[in-house]
Structure 1
Amino acid sequence: MVNKKIRIVDIARLADVSPGTVDRVIHNRGRIAPDKKARIEEIIKQVGYKPNIAARMLAIGRTYSIAAVVPSYVDESYWGQVCEGCIKAAEELGQGNIKVDFIYFDLYDRHSFDRVTFDIDWELYDSVVIAALFEEQTRKLSTQLDAIDKPYIYIDSLVDGESNLAYFGVDAYASGRIAGKMLCCEIDAESAIVIVYIQFRRNEITPQMRKREEGLLQYLRESGRESKVEYIEYNPEQPDQTTAALRRIIGKGDKKVGVVVLNSRVYELVASLVSAAKTDTDTNMREQISMLGFDAIMPNIKAMNEGWVRVLISQRPKLQGYNAVKALSNFFLFDALPNRINHTPIDILIPENIGYYTD
C-alpha cells in the first residue's frame, strides 16, 4: 500500500465502507455517522491521501479565475516571491483550469489601491486574493465582495472582523516578539534600539508592521531591559538624514545600538550606510550597530553576507501565494473550507545558516 498511489477505493476497503462514503467525507458532503467519519479521517491521515486536483479539473472542464490584488514589484523582491507562489500553484493544476490575473497597486500609496480596484468588474472572477496592506481600503473592497458573494483570501496582513475565507501569512505579533528576543541576544541590556520605517510614516504602517512593532515592544517590556527605543522614518530620497540620525544615537553612548527594519527593505538602509561609510572617517557604523530585518530576499541576503545584517526573519512569501491559490482551488472543486487562520513558518536566519536556506 505504501508504494502505490492511494485511491478512494483503497481507503474504503481499509475502513470497511463504500467508496461513496469516503468521497462524502473527503468533500465534506452529506451526513455520515460520527464513528465512520472519524475512522475514515484517521485512515486518510495514516495513508497520506491527497485529492487529485488536476484530475478533478479535467473532469469538470471549466476554468476558474482568481484576481490577485497585490503591490507592483521588481524581481527578487518580497512581492515577487508572493506572485511566484501564486503562479506555481496555478501551473501545478495543469491544463490552464486555474487562471490568476494580477491587479497591481503602489505599495506606498494607499489611494492607488482604491484607484486600481474601483473599475474592476468583480463578477468576472470566481474569487480574489488580497494583499491586505491598507486596512481601510481592504475593508472597503471586502464589503464590495461580500455584496456579490465572492470568496476572498487575505495574504501578508490580517484585517480582523471581515468575512474573508482565510488568511495565509505570518503571525506578525509573534514575529515581532522573536525580533525582540534575537535583538536582545545581540546587544547589551542598556543599548539603545532604533526602529526604522522605510518609505512609511510611523502612523501609516501596514497592519502587519504594526503588530510586529507591538510584539517587539512587548517583549522588551517583559524582559525588563533598560533600552531606550527611538524611531526614524527613512526617506530614500534623503538618506543622509537617516545616517545622521543614527550617528547621533550612536554618539550618545559607548554601547552597540540595535537597529530593526519592520518590512523587507533593510537592504535600502544598508545601501545608504554603505554609501556614507565611503566618506565617513569618524564612525565605523557596521561595527557599532547590530541590524535585524525581515525576509530572505536576495538583496537582504547580500547585506547579511557583507556583514551588515545580523539576523533575518523570514515568513516564506512564496508559500503564502502558493497556499492561497491552492486553498481556493480546493474550495472550488471539493467544497473544502480552509482553516480560517493559516500561519506560515517563522524562520530565523543568521550568517551561519543563511547559505543553507531555501524557502
Structure 2
Amino acid sequence: MDKNKIIRIKDIAKLSGVSVGTVDRVIHERGKVSEVSKAKVEKVLKEINYTPNLLAKTLGSNKVFKIALLAPHLDEDPYWNLALSALGSTQKEWQPYHIEILPFYFELHNADSYHKESERLLACNPDAVISAPIYLPEALTFSKKLKVMNIPFIHFNTLITEADPLAFIGQDLYQSGRLAASLLNLVCHDQKGSLATLHIVQSIQHSIHFQDKENGFNDYCKALASPQKTTSILINAHTQELFEASLLKAINEFEVKGLFIPTSSGAKKTAEVLRNNHLKDIKIVGYDLIQDNIDLLRSGEIEFLINQSPNKQLYRGVYHLAHHLLFKNPPPKKELFPLEIITRENIDSYTCAQILNQ
C-alpha cells in the first residue's frame, strides 16, 4: 500500500476482511470482538504501521488539559521577568489544542511562599506541572506529592535529581560554573590574587542552582596545572552602602582579581562598587541578557555574560508536557541548552534575536 496514502478505517476493514464496526471496536478497545476477527485486524494494523490520530481523538473529546506553572513572581527580578516573557505567547499557541496554562507565583526569597503556592497549585488538580524548584527541601516535598497524585512534572532552570522529574529543561549548571572559571582565568591569568564567587542572595543556602555553579567553578580552578586560588563571598546587605563596605573588605582580604557572579541581578551592584573605587582591573563574569547586564557589557564593566536563554526554557517545557498529554510522547530526560558566551562583539546579534522571539 502507498505509504503516503491516508489510511481510513474502511481500508483496514477491506484488508482484514471484517466490518468497519469491528475495526472501530478493535482500534478503540470497546465492545465485543471475536479473537479471530481481532487477530485479523491487528495483523493488518501491524503491517501498515497504523497509528490513530490522537490529536483528533483528544480534541473530539473536548477535554481541557491543565498545565500548572510554579515560578518566582516575574515582577520581583529581571531574570524571571525575562524567563516568563514567553508565557503569553505560549498560552495562545497551545489554547487551540485544549491546553490551559495556570501560573502560580511565589516570592523569590521566601521559601514559605513557595510552599503555600505549591499547595494552591495541588488543590487545582492539574494534569501536569512545570516548575522552577529553587528551594531544595520544599521542592522535594512538593515533588513527592506530585508523584503520589500521579501528576507528571518537568523542572526548568534548576534540576533536583532526587525529585526524579519527567524531564529537565535548562543548562548544565556545573559545566556553566566551569565555563565561568575558564573565562576568568583567560582574562586574569597574568595577575596575582584569587578568583571569587560572589553571592548576593539572602537564601543562598536553599538555592541548589547556585551551589552547582560554584562547585563547577572551584573544581575547574583546582584542576589547573597551577591551581588557582578561589574563595566564596556571601554578602547579605540591605543597602548599597553596606554592600559596598562588605565587598571592599572581601576584595582586600582575599586579594580578588576576578569575580564570578552566578545570578543575573548581582552584576550591576558589583560594577557600581568597582567603578566608584577605581577597581577597573577586577574582571567580572555574569549571567543573562537583562538590560543592566547588556549595558555593563557594552561599557566594558563586564567581560563576559553566559546566556541561559531562560525565555526558551519555559516554552520548551510546556511543549514537552503538551506532547506528553496529547500524544503520549515521553520527553527527553534532559534538554540541555548550549552554554553561550556573550561578548561586546556579539551582543547585538543576541539582543536582536531576543526581541524577535518575544
Q: Hey, what's the Cα distance between the residues in 2 that align with 1:176 and 1:304?
A: 19
Q: What SS does the aligned partner of 2:303 have?
A: strand
Cα distance change of structure 1 residues 86 and 198 upon mapping to structure 2, 3 Å threshold: same
* C-alpha displacement of 1:300: 1.3
- Percent same amino acid among aligned pairs? 22
1:10-67 deviation digits (Å, cap 9, x = unpaired): 3889xxxx9xxxxxxxxxxxx99xx999xx9xxxxxxxxxxx9987765453321111
Q: Which residue of 1 aligns with 2:297?
A: 304
CA contact (8 A) 1:199 1:236 kept: no
Distance 1:173 1:12 in 2: 48
Which residue of 2 is the match for residue 154 of structure 1?
155
- Alpha carbons 1:133, 1:207 under 8 Å: kept: yes
Superposed CA offset, 1:134-186 (max 9, x none): 11111101111111111111111111122321111110011111111011111
Contact 1:188–1:256 (8 Å) recurs in 2: no
How many pairs were matched up?
Answer: 315
Equivalent residue for 1:82?
Answer: 83
1:329 correspondence with 2:353 = no
Matching residue's letter, 2:117? V
- Judged with a 3 Å threshold, the aligned counterparts in structure 2 of structure 1 residues 132 and 298 are, in CA distance, closer, same or farther, namely same
**Pairing 1:328-347 to 2, within 5 Å after superposition:** 328-347=321-340
If the length of structure 2 is used for normalisation, what is the TM-score? 0.77
- Structure 1 residue 115 corresponds to structure 2 residue 109: no
Whichever residue aligns with residue 66 of structure 1, its letter is I
Alignment of 1:131-150 (within 5 A): 131-150=132-151
Are residues 1:99 and 2:100 paired?
yes
- The verdict on how the C-alpha distance between 1:237 and 1:94 changes in structure 2, with shifts beyond 3 A counting, is same
Q: In structure 1, how many angstroms separate the alpha carbons of the residues matched to 2:64 and 2:329?
A: 18
Q: 1:10 corresponds to which residue?
A: 4
What's the Cα RMSD here?
Answer: 3.4
- The answer on 1:220 being equivalent to 2:221 is yes
Partner of residue 67, structure 1: 68
TM superposition shift of 1:194: 1.9
Letter of the 1:305 counterpart: R
Out of 338, 347, 351, the position equivalent to 1:354 is 347
* Letter in structure 2 aligned against 1:131: A
Match of 1:25 in 2: none
Contact map agreement 1:197 1:234 (CA 8 A) in 2: yes
Which ranges of structure 1 fall in alignment gaps of 5 or more residues? 1-7, 19-30, 41-51, 278-282
Deviation at 1:84, TM superposition (A): 2.5
Partner-residue secondary structure (3-state), 2:199:
strand
The residue identity in structure 1 corresponding to 2:148 is A
How far apart are residue 98 of structure 1 and its match? 1.7
Aligned partner letter, 1:114: H
Q: 1:241 Cα deviation (Å)? A: 3.5
Cα distance, 1:308 vs. partner?
1.3
1:233-252 → structure 2 map (5 Å cutoff): 233-248=234-249, 250-251=251-252
Instruction: Tell me the TM-score normalised to structure 1 length.
Output: 0.77
- The 1:159/1:250 distance shift into structure 2, 3 A limit, reads closer
Evaluate the alpha carbon distance shift between residue 157 and residue 234 of structure 1 in structure 2; reply closer, same or farther with a 3 A threshold. Answer: same
Q: Give the distance between the partners of 1:11 and 1:176, measured in 2 at CA.
A: 52
Give, in angstroms, the shift of residue 315 of structure 1: 1.1
Q: Which amino acid in structure 1 is aligned with residue 325 of structure 2?
A: F
Q: Which amino acid aligns with 1:160?
A: T
- How far apart in 2 are the matches of 1:236 and 1:230? 19
Q: Is the 8 A contact 1:66 1:126 kept in 2?
A: yes
Deviation for aligned residue 1:235: 3.4
Q: 1:60 to 1:317 in 2, by over 3 A?
A: farther
Label 1:100 to 1:251 Cα distance change in 2 as closer, same or farther (>3 A): same
